[in-house]
Structure 1
């Protein structure tokens, strides 16, 4: 074990972000940031939490259903989000157009999802095709 004080991590200045934060320069507004948004098909998600461990500023496990959900499109770098997508064992995370997010959210709200871990739960159909 090294002689470093673990409390230093809480006093250290944050590293500069690799990508700019929300500032009106998003691709939908003609900016130069990422051209696509990330989306979790919660009907397919098994709640493994891999994505939330890899890209913790982008994904969170929704507490009522136990499925991952995107909380910030600009939370992590594109490379880190792609790494999280690559770790998903059921391919439920997709790159989609920003203009498709509202429709996908409405579809999600219309789904009858059961909390994960219930015995004999019937899994709903995917909202997006496999890549």
Structure 2
């Protein structure tokens, strides 16, 4: 296969017809299979959070303070390094941030939605 010239048009349909050179090999360590490399997610129990903002100051790409309720929330699982997220967890004065299995996130979110959380007073 020759080099492409900048002026040569590229047919976008080639992306859909490209063959996979190597089949995907499964190791058994995939998180969905419960392997030893099982990933975990960070979860903020907003019903306990006091809105101190420590976690958002330490790991600002992972945590924000939700403006209406005044409580911290994890917005990205890959926003900061694991070490940075752990530091944010360690700074929490009410211990409301936890590592949980990814599979538990949906249930935890559903449980939180059913709670009648009131906005934190701003002060």
The answer to which of 91-100 and 26-35 deviates more is: 26-35
Count of residue pairs the alignment pairs up: 93
**Counterpart check, 1:101 vs 2:105:** yes
Give 2:17's aligned residue.
none
TM-score w.r.t. the length of structure 1 is 0.65
Answer with 1 or 2: which has the greater Rg.
Answer: 2
Give 2:84's aligned residue.
80
Deviation at 1:60, TM superposition (A): 0.6
Q: Secondary structure at the match of 2:83?
A: helix
Give 1:126's aligned residue.
none
Give 1:114's aligned residue.
118
Task: Provide the C-alpha distance between the structure 2 equivalents of 1:32 and 1:100, rounded to a whole number of angstroms.
Answer: 17
Q: Which runs of 5+ in 1 are unaligned?
A: 1-25, 119-131
Q: 1:116 to 1:46 in 2, by over 3 A?
A: same
Deviation at 1:35, TM superposition (A): 1.8
1:64-121 Cα offsets, whole Å, 9 max, x none, are: 1000000000111100000000000000000000000000000010010010018xxx
- Divergent runs of 4+, >6 A: 29-34
| Structure-to-structure mapping, 1:12-91, within 5 angstroms | 27-28=31-32, 35-91=39-95
Task: Provide the C-alpha distance between the structure 1 equivalents of 2:38 and 2:72, rounded to a whole number of angstroms.
Answer: 21
Q: CA RMSD in A?
A: 2.1
Q: Secondary structure at the match of 1:37?
A: strand
Q: 1:74 to 1:33 in 2, by over 3 A?
A: farther
Task: Provide the C-alpha distance between the structure 2 equivalents of 1:54 and 1:28, rounded to a whole number of angstroms.
Answer: 30
The answer to which of 32-41 and 68-77 deviates more is: 32-41
Task: Provide the C-alpha distance between the structure 2 equivalents of 1:73 and 1:33, rounded to a whole number of angstroms.
Answer: 16
